[in-house]
Amino acid sequence: MRRPGVVILVHGVLIVGLILVAFPFFWMVSTSLKTKDESVSVPPRMLPEECRWENYAEAWNKAPFARYFVNTAAVSLAVTTAVVVTSLLAGYAFAMMEFPGKKILFVLYLSTMMIPFEVVLVPNFATINALGWQNTYAALIVPWMANVFSVFLIRQTLMSLPRDFRDAALVDGCGHLRYLWYIAAPLTRPILITAGLLAFLGSWNAFLWPLVVTNTEKMRVIQFGLQMFLREESTDYHLLMAASTFTILPIVVVYVVAQRYFIEGVSGSGLKG
Amino acid sequence: MRTSLILALMTALFVAGCGGEGPRAPAPSPGITEVTFWHTQSAENAEALKKIISDFSRAHPDIKITPQYTGGYTDLFRKMRAAISGGNMPDLAVAYESMVAEYASAGVVIALDEYISDPEHGLPKEKMADIFPGYIATNTFEEFGGKMLSFPFTKSNLMMYFNLDMIRKAGFEDRPKTWDEFLSQCRAIRKMTGRPAYALSVDPSTIDGMIYSFGGELYVREDGKRRTLFDSEASRNTFAVIETLAKEKLAFQINPGTYDDRDALSAERAAFMIRSSTSRPFLEDTIKDRFEWGLSEIPHAEGVKPVTVMFGANICVFRSTPERQLAAWEFIKYFVSPKVTALWATETGYLPVRKTALNEEPYKSFAEAHPRNRAAFDVIPIARPEPNLAGWQEIRKHLDRAETSVITGLKTAAETVVELTEKSNKVLAR
């Protein structure tokens, strides 16, 4: 039985935290239902006088959002899958296998994290152009199929697995890939999902790279749709917030689903006493 | 079950990676010249642009203009830098003067002078004379052989917005014409309302305009060297006005990057703001007829001719084939024709580039409908561009800091002027 003072304190802190996290979402949804005048009124209004659901239809029709959604979903899913697969394979090689130059290679690989994206933008673009990939899914996906940070993350986790697991598996005639697939991957699922989630988020929110490698409306992604509401001198905040709401909806869904796996992964990691 | 999920995802990856929209543009039909045009217009303005382009296509069936929205100006510039090195340049793009200068240094932009003077495709002298001289001047690049490298596209002016009802209640007949009048109106309004009268947005362009309006210049070229004139009397007077506004609490600084000054003006919490003429449609929307307001050029010093700052982007043509370059020029020529510039200005709130646009519908009716509608047009002849020197972008940052330190009372005007001159001259000396 805990003391009531502690319970109140803990709940108080949690409630403040909840408000801090939830308020921007509340504000987004509330603004998305206001009229244009209400959205910029001073002092700001917490809630609209009446909910204007038609803002959503208006925002949706301001840009080809259906197309943007399909493109973004295809690119994000492909990038996420690819990042998880390549990071798992590379992470395993760096963690478990012995080969000449492994350390140097790993350090070199890690050091690429220090190079800002702006620096590689132009050479990457030149490569995409030389391959004739302008305005293709390939241009949006292939450069993002491997991710240094995810490799690092997964390598560290794989190294923390007891070596006995692998030795036992190898003695029983299990190859590297089979060990990776049946034993290592299930045990590192929380990290794989974290890596996937990061890749998905990055891909869903990408703007600069898609801007550079695509020109046609048909190949553009969701962040372009949001740009449509930002004008030099005036922004339609109510419509921008409506568009933001349906843009982040898939991320919220992915997050909720991933969180379930996350907890399952942590509680069933197979590492017992 | 898990295996099948992974397999499904792998398949999705394969399909997505290999499929995709037809990578290359369809082969152009014979006899049609394709022109791609990178721009920054979104929402209603983009619709207006599309309409102008489709009208152009009807008049020129042999030219196909493809407008491509490329985000804001910074985004467009990044994309362009990638294209300059990596290929796939557009034929036309909107650009500020500093961007045009960069493109010219990279040798990718073409001079328009030959096209202008071409007997068949050019713009005759009388038509060129119809374009405001300031717009020609700002697109003529001294550093690149005095050539015209771009054409005016989306122009606007720095304007003073005022609440005329408040000014009258404070005992004045009309808006302030000089800086002295401006200060005394601010004092009277402060006395009446107990609040600062001017919602001040820290902005290097406003400082540039104020220095012009005190009869000053921003830089000088001596023996091939450039040096700023921030230690001039005009500049000292400018910062003295800012200092007075701060000391007597006649102005309040709005949050940088916001349009809180527009909100303040609209909510009658301020009587003045200084902003681009593109803010007008927004204020029309929010103020409606709640009180009488207007816009004019910024105040000036006694005995100095009224002046304001010219804003806005231009359009330039990139090196390609003679056919595509000519087609791109044809579009520019069409865009700056009196009818089209009149339509564009009415639809977007930018300014027409030709004097005779005032005789063309729909701009004619628009300008006649309310004095506010033509206020910005009337000050075009006195609008001056800001320097388009290499390094000026960095000097703007110093100007920003200088104004901020005076308006917040961190430094005196005198100290600031000395420091600003020193720092800016270092930039130009590089």
Distances (CA, A) of A117 to A102, B79, B178, B237, B357: 25, 14, 50, 45, 46
Spatial CA neighbour of B424 closest among B239, B235, B229, B241: B229
CA atoms within a 13 Å half-sphere pointing along the CA-CB vector of B359: 6
Strands B140-141 and B272-276: unpaired
State which residue of chain A sits closest to B261, comparing Cα positions: A42
pLDDT at B7: 43
CB of B34 within 8 Å of any CB in chain A? no
Sign of CA dihedral A107, A109, A114, A119: positive
- The model's pTM is 0.84
B17:A137 CB<8 A: yes
Q: What angle do CA A200, A205, A209 make, to 5 degrees?
A: 105
What is the rounded distance in angstroms from the CA atom of residue A192 to the CA atom of residue A262?
Answer: 9
CB of A133 within 8 Å of any CB in chain B? yes
pLDDT at A263: 63
Residue pLDDT, tens place only, B339-358: 999 999 999 999 999 999 99
Residue A172 lies in a domain: yes
Task: Evaluate if residue A153 carries a pLDDT over 70.
Answer: yes
Concatenating the DSSP letter of every residue in A74-113 gives HHHHHHHHHHHHHHHHHHHHHHH---TTHHHHHHHHHHGG
Distance of CA A156 to the CA centre of its chain: 20
A236:B43 CB<8 A: yes
pLDDT at B139: 95
What is the rounded distance in angstroms from the CA atom of residue B226 to the CA atom of residue B145?
Answer: 18
B80 and B39 in contact (C-beta within 8 Å)? Answer: no
Q: Which of A74, A129, A232 sits opposite B16 (nearest CB)?
A: A74
A132:B24 CB<8 A: yes
B-chain residues within 8 Å CB-CB of A117?
none
B42:A229 CB<8 A: yes
What is the rounded distance in angstroms from the CA atom of residue B400 to the CA atom of residue B293?
Answer: 28
What is the rounded distance in angstroms from the CA atom of residue A14 to the CA atom of residue A9?
Answer: 9
Its CATH class, for the domain covering B157-309+386-429, is alpha beta
pLDDT at B282: 87
pLDDT at A46: 87
CA atoms within a 13 Å half-sphere pointing along the CA-CB vector of B173: 1
Residue A27 lies in a domain: no
Q: Which of A123, A134, A141 sits opposite B23 (nearest CB)?
A: A134
Residue A263 lies in a domain: yes
Please report the residues numbered 233 through 252 in chain A whose beta carbons come closer than 8 angstroms to any beta carbon of chain B.
233-234, 236
ipTM of this model? 0.81
CB pairs under 8 A between A and B: 117
CB of B194 within 8 Å of any CB in chain A? no
B-chain residues within 8 Å CB-CB of A207?
71, 75
B254 and B199 in contact (C-beta within 8 Å)? Answer: yes
Domain ranges of chain B: 3-156+311-376, 157-309+386-429
B-chain residues within 8 Å CB-CB of A218?
21
State which residue of chain A sits closest to B268, comparing Cα positions: A42
- Does 3.40.190.10 match the CATH number of domain B3-156+311-376? yes
Residue A130 lies in a domain: yes
A59 and A229 in contact (C-beta within 8 Å)? Answer: yes
Q: Average pLDDT, stretch A30-44?
A: 84
Q: Average pLDDT, stretch A137-159?
A: 94
List of residues 6+ apart from B355 with CB closer than 8 A: B130, B131, B132
pLDDT at B10: 42
CB of A224 within 8 Å of any CB in chain B? yes
Residue A154 lies in a domain: yes
A228:B82 CB<8 A: no
CATH code of the domain covering residue A158: 1.10.3720.10
List of residues 6+ apart from B248 with CB closer than 8 A: B186, B187, B190
Q: Average pLDDT, stretch A250-272?
A: 67
Residue A171 lies in a domain: yes
Residue A170 lies in a domain: yes
pLDDT at B221: 87
Tell me which H or E stretch contains A165: helix A163-171
Query: In Å, how far is B79's CA from the nearest CA of chain A?
Result: 5
What is the rounded distance in angstroms from the CA atom of residue B407 to the CA atom of residue B417?
Answer: 13
What is the rounded distance in angstroms from the CA atom of residue B375 to the CA atom of residue B173?
Answer: 18
* Domain region containing A85: 52-268
pLDDT at A1: 58
What residues does B141 pair with on adjacent strands? B147
Residue A25 lies in a domain: no
Residue pLDDT, tens place only, B119-164: 999 999 999 999 999 999 999 998 899 999 999 999 999 999 999 9
List of residues 6+ apart from B253 with CB closer than 8 A: B200, B201, B202, B404, B407, B408
pLDDT tier at A233, thresholds 50, 70, 90: low
CB of A75 within 8 Å of any CB in chain B? yes
CB of B45 within 8 Å of any CB in chain A? yes
List of residues 6+ apart from B164 with CB closer than 8 A: B174, B175, B291, B292, B293, B294
Look at chain A and report how many structural domains it folds into.
1
Which residues does chain B have with pLDDT short of 70? 1-30
Residue pLDDT, tens place only, A56-102: 999 998 889 999 999 999 999 999 999 999 999 999 999 988 999 99
What is the rounded distance in angstroms from the CA atom of residue B173 to the CA atom of residue B104?
Answer: 50
